[in-house]
Amino acid sequence: MTIKGCIFDLDGVIVDTAKYHYIAWRELAHELGFLFTEKDNERLKGVSRMKSLEILLEVGGMSFSESRKKALAEKKNKRYVELINQLTPEDILPGARLFIENLKTKNIKTALGSASKNAMTILNKLEITNLFESIIDGTKVSKAKPDPEVFLKAAQELDLNPEECIVFEDAQAGIEAAKNGKMWAVAVGKPENLSGYNAIISSFSNITFDDIKAKLKI
C-alpha cells in the first residue's frame, strides 16, 4: 500500500486551542450558575459546537429553547474567537510544521480535516494556510465525527482513495471517524486516553514520515 496523503485534525494536533475552548465554555457555565470542570470538558473533544453545548447544559442540569441555545453557542464562540485572535506562529505544537514540510519533500499531499468553523482564522494566525492543499472545516460539513464525512471530503479534494490516506487525530471520535472512512489512523496523545488507532505518537517532535510508516508497517 502506498500512502499518498496525510490529513490533519487541527485542535490538539497542530495547535492547542482546546484550552481556549475550555475557558470560553467554563465562563459560559459560570454565567449560567454552575461549575464546568476540566474533566467535564474531556467529553467535548472532537464534537460539534451545538453538541458541546448540549453536554455542558446536561452537566448543569439545564434545558433551553432552540433559539436560546443558539444564542448561547454564539456567545461562547464570540469569546473563543477573541481568545484565538491572540495566536501567533509560536503557538504551533512542537514539530508539527517541520513534519508537514517533510511531507512536502516526499510529494505527500496534505489536508486539514477539522470540525472547527474557525479553522481559517487559526491557520491564518499561525501562518500555515499554504501548507495544506485542501482545507475541510466545519463550514463545509454537516456530520460530526465519528462520521467520516470531513476526512472523506478531504481525501476527495486531494483526489485520493481513503486507503491512501493517514489521518492524525487527538480525539477518540476523530480516530473512529478515520477508521469508519477506511483510512489509517495515527493517534496524537496518550495511549490511556485513546484506542482503536493503527499507531500512536506523543507529539510530532523529532518525528518524520518514515517513522510513521515504520510504526504502521507499510
Active site residue 211: no
d(CA 165, CA 5): 5
Catalytic: which of 9, 40, 137, 170? 9
* Burial group, residue 90, by CB count within 10 angstroms (0-12, 13-18, 19+): exposed
Strand, coil or helix: 111: strand
Catalytic: which of 11, 40, 137, 170? 11
Contact, 10 vs 118, CB < 8 A? no
d(CA 32, CA 136): 33
Q: What are phi and psi of 5, to 5 degrees?
A: -150, 150
Mind telling me the catalytic residues? 9, 11
